[in-house]
Structure 1
Amino acid sequence: MSLIHISRKVLLAGLLLLPLQVLAVNPPTVPDPDPPVGNPLPPVSRVDVDGPYATTIDTRAGPSRSGWVVRPSNLGANGVVHPVFIWGPGAASRPSDYEDHLRRIASHGFVVYSEVSSNSGSEMGAALDWLIEQNNNSRSDYYQKLDTSRIGAGGHSRGSVATFANASDPRLTTTIHVAGGSFDGRGPNNLRKPAAFICGEDDRTATPNCRRDYTNTRTPVWFTVIDDASHTSTARDGLAVIVGWLRWQLAGETERRTMFIDPSCDFCGRGYETQYKNW
């Protein structure tokens, strides 16, 4: 027997004697987002109540002047450059049906855009174009006050489907899908960045699709089913989750990671059936 064959046998025998954890390859840890542009958002101790900003609504915004922008009234105060969140309402719904939700998110320092959703998500891409143009336009109220490197998209029901359709847009940092699994299970194919799926226990229509989407997702994903939440109520019942996620993923508050990715995370205990993977 050659020395090469002997060496290979000795090496294999040595490896077999090593503890299994030494041989295992640990999955990579997804890094937290980089610090935001400009000064950070004012800190808050709770994500289930309004934040420190008073809010203003422009009901004739966007490329066709049919969208809403809900934003902090004092844009850019104290050197803050605001992250952006694009919202998609459910079918037959309008931004006005989610006014409380949009105001809550904006009160935490985000500039939120919404208009009626389509399955294609085309309105979301057009909204991103428009907001970036406004940020670069010296005559705009938004001039250099938006952090266009920190943009999230999300929606409820049909708005979630629209978000899946638009999820491959490289300008997005994260997506949020509320009570709206993709119809054919292929929505996750478009995901490129970390995503949150928020669904309801009593939603017999969307939640089975949410579970299938979670199985099919290959990017970092966090998924919860809220106890006793219906298809309609999940958007409100999950509002604290949405705010916390945006403060982590868009505002760079890395300490909020443990609210989601931790054995004792805030949204993993009583009232939530939570899973996560690829982190």
Structure 2
Amino acid sequence: MKISSTIAAAVAAAIIAGTCQAAETETGSGPFSAVYEEDPTLPAHVIYHPQAMGQAKLPVYVFGNGGCSADGTSSRNHLLDIASHGYLIVAPGVIAALHPEAAKPTEGPGLGMATRASALTEAIDWAVRENDRPQSPYFHKIDTHAIAVSGWSCGGLQAIIVAPDPRVKTLVVMNSGVFNGDKNLIPGMEVHKAMLADIHVPTLYILGGPSDIAYANGMDDYARLTTVPAALVNIPVGHGGTYMQPHGGIAAEVVVDWLDWQLKGDREKGKMFFGTACGFCGDSRLTLESKNMPSH
């Protein structure tokens, strides 16, 4: 079996299993009730946000789906949880319950792509545009200087492609990594190890431990990050991650703390990742390493 077929099968199985376990009442663990919806001003994307948007501006978390699928709700527990902590989130695709055929995974022996990395850039463009549009419900409610790109598996590669965008302030790569040996195992996906040198922002890798099909690729990526603050978290759950566990599981907890630090400037959350009081360092649910961190 080709590696690409193995990855496709792993992602498809995880998405299917997650969908079956989804709690439709899931809104997140944060202080805000979160919702997701489609918006005619941004076709072929799903938007997650606090149901009641207050005075605080929302940082942006743009997320590439597992398998680069067109199901913008395939990781909804993860995304709803982050939104419930005061974030605006955009994922490519549609709401699968409303458009089952459009969200259906691509078929074939390899891993196809129903969405492209450009969809993440479109999401960033939209957020900037809506923040400046007087008729928008997001008018002056988006922090366009606090944008993260992220993604699961194939979607993580999309995030790596988009990360050099100067508007991006941090990168989160989940159960993913550029293929070792620069093998192009996903038709149409132009991503290479050399592109890691273009990453200019603090970066978090979250992997599923040695049983994760992307483990070796992600570990190698992390080793190549020599100039930016970086952290590597391994949660021993394999390639499927914790995306559809209640509140997105431990991975969502880690991501929220990272985003609060990187996008909201919460230094106490930064202490979860490094230093003598490192909060996640002694957490039995995961392992953590970090490098190039600030001295204060």
Short-chain TM bin: 0.7 to 0.9
> Hey, what does 1:17 align to over in structure 2?
none
Aligned equivalents of 1:251 and 1:62: distance in 2?
27
> Hey, what does 1:72 align to over in structure 2?
50
Q: State whether residues 187 and 213 of structure 1, in contact with CA within 8 Å, keep that contact through their aligned partners in structure 2.
A: no
For residue 165 of structure 1, report the CA deviation from its aligned partner: 0.4
For residue 82 of structure 1, report the CA deviation from its aligned partner: 1.0
Q: State whether residues 199 and 234 of structure 1, in contact with CA within 8 Å, keep that contact through their aligned partners in structure 2.
A: no
Aligned residues: 227
For residue 186 of structure 1, report the CA deviation from its aligned partner: 3.2
> Hey, what does 1:273 align to over in structure 2?
287
Q: State whether residues 178 and 197 of structure 1, in contact with CA within 8 Å, keep that contact through their aligned partners in structure 2.
A: yes
Aligned equivalents of 1:108 and 1:160: distance in 2?
22
Q: Could you tell me the TM-score, scaled by structure 2's length? A: 0.72
Q: Could you tell me the TM-score, scaled by structure 1's length? A: 0.76
The amino acid across from 2:174 in the alignment is: V
The amino acid across from 2:258 in the alignment is: W
The amino acid across from 1:278 in the alignment is: N
> Hey, what does 2:199 align to over in structure 1?
191
Q: Which has the larger radius of gyration?
A: 1
1:58 equivalent among 37, 44, 55: 37
Aligned equivalents of 1:96 and 1:190: distance in 2?
30
1:87 equivalent to 2:96? Answer no
Q: State whether residues 231 and 289 of structure 2, in contact with CA within 8 Å, keep that contact through their aligned partners in structure 1.
A: yes
Aligned equivalents of 2:68 and 2:155: distance in 1?
11
Give the secondary-structure state (helix, strand or coil) at the position aligned to 1:154.
strand
Aligned equivalents of 1:247 and 1:73: distance in 2?
19
Aligned equivalents of 1:68 and 1:245: distance in 2?
23
Aligned equivalents of 2:40 and 2:157: distance in 1?
23
1:217 equivalent to 2:221? Answer no
2:124 equivalent among 128, 142, 150: 128
**Structure 1 regions of 5+ residues with no counterpart?**
1-48
Structure-2 change in CA distance of 1:145 and 1:114 (3 Å): same
1:114 equivalent to 2:91? Answer yes
> Hey, what does 1:140 align to over in structure 2?
136
Higher deviation after alignment, 130-139 or 261-270? 261-270
The percent identity for this pair of structures is 29
**Structure 2 regions of 5+ residues with no counterpart?**
1-27, 94-112, 183-192
Aligned equivalents of 2:172 and 2:40: distance in 1?
22
> Hey, what does 1:27 align to over in structure 2?
none
Q: State whether residues 68 and 154 of structure 2, in contact with CA within 8 Å, keep that contact through their aligned partners in structure 1.
A: no
Structure-2 change in CA distance of 1:74 and 1:89 (3 Å): same
1:172 equivalent among 168, 175, 183: 168
**Post-superposition CA distance 1:146-195 (Å, at most 9, x none):** 00011111011011100000110000110100000112333422311000
2:147 equivalent among 125, 148, 151: 151
